[in-house]
Amino acid sequence: MSNYRIEKENKIINENHVESFVQKFNGKKEGASPHIHLAVEILHIVSGEFRIFVDDIPYQVSAGETLLIRSNATHWIYALSEEPSSYYVIKFTPDFLMEMANREGSSSYLLSMALLNNQAKTHWSKEESVGIAQACDRLFREKEQQSYGSDIAIKICVAEINLTLLRDIEADAPPKDAGNENLVRRVYDAIVYINQHYAEEITAEDCSSHVFLSYSYFSRSFKRITGKTFKDYLTLTRINQAEKALVSTKLPITEIAAACGFNNISYFSAIYKKIKGVSPSTARELKQSCN
């Protein structure tokens, strides 16, 4: 789904790192158009049934269930119910997790909740969401009542929901090696390095050296933890950055490709279409047709 809008974070989430609201729809086929944003988003369905696409993967989510949408994932939503339906929306920036956790834990939490990982758990059933539902109800009561200390209470509720999701993700993940926290932190540091230097001619050797791991151990560990090889992750990062530029700027496609680390425009166009399903020029045309 290349035809989407980039949603800028608003003042509330920029200042507080947390935003929450209730989204309501009046009937079938209403919904949210394709969009993408930095914030992590948790949807807890209050009533009705929805089909939600996250990076083109469809999920059918009903009342009482929960869906986690990780940072920078393209997603869109439409209602399946004839009757009015609604869901809670809780959005938070990656900084929200970083502020609560120590350095050893924060990298692991970010990998689980915020960064690209198609293998990690995304959908929670009604039975699994009981505690999440209770925390959501408390959060929105606090928001409505605006009692003394409600701002703190709201963040506590968001932290409780995060903790529930993180523990479920951890329990659902493959067994970890001894000393894994240190390894996860290094892989996280490598991902930060990729996001900072994706426009440059970086290699897995550069990255492994940056995080003080041998090339072979780094390559195996990176794929095991992220679900992607270094090359695939770097390419996807470059394509995602290019996609943002295509739909949000008027820069020439050749300039965008070069700025995102692609020296060959033909290769850029081919790999873009392979990953996104349409050519770069078509992605831009689709965006312009919606404006």
Q: Domains (ranges, CATH) in the chain?
A: 5-172 (2.60.120.10), 180-290 (1.10.10.60)
Residue 2 has pLDDT above 80, yes or no: no
> What is the structure's pLDDT at 108?
72
Contact 172, 121 (CB under 8 A): yes
**125 or 55: whose pLDDT is higher?**
125
**222 or 67: whose pLDDT is higher?**
67
Two tokens, residue 253: 């496609």
Note the residue count of the chain: 291
Residue 112 has pLDDT above 90, yes or no: no
Residue 208 CB contacts under 8 Å (≥ 6 apart), including other chains:
190, 214, 215, 217, 218, 219
Task: Work out the pLDDT band at 14, boundaries 50, 70, 90.
Answer: low
**42 or 118: whose pLDDT is higher?**
42
Mean pLDDT of the 185-195 span: 84
Residue 226 CB contacts under 8 Å (≥ 6 apart), including other chains:
111, 115, 116, 117, 187, 191, 233
Residue 147 has pLDDT above 50, yes or no: yes
Q: What tens digit of pLDDT does each residue of 239-289 get?
A: 988 988 887 788 999 999 999 999 999 999 999 998 888 899 988 887 665
Output the average pLDDT for the chain: 84
Query: By CB neighbour count within 10 A (0-12 exposed, 13-18 middle, 19+ buried), where does 15 fall?
Result: exposed
Q: What tens digit of pLDDT does each residue of 29-62 get?
A: 777 777 777 788 999 999 999 999 887 789 999 9
Distance CA 244, CA 138 (A): 36
Per-position b or e across 233-250, b if 16+ CB within 10 A of its CB: bbbbbbbbbbbbbbbeee
Give me the percent of the chain exceeding a pLDDT of 70: 87
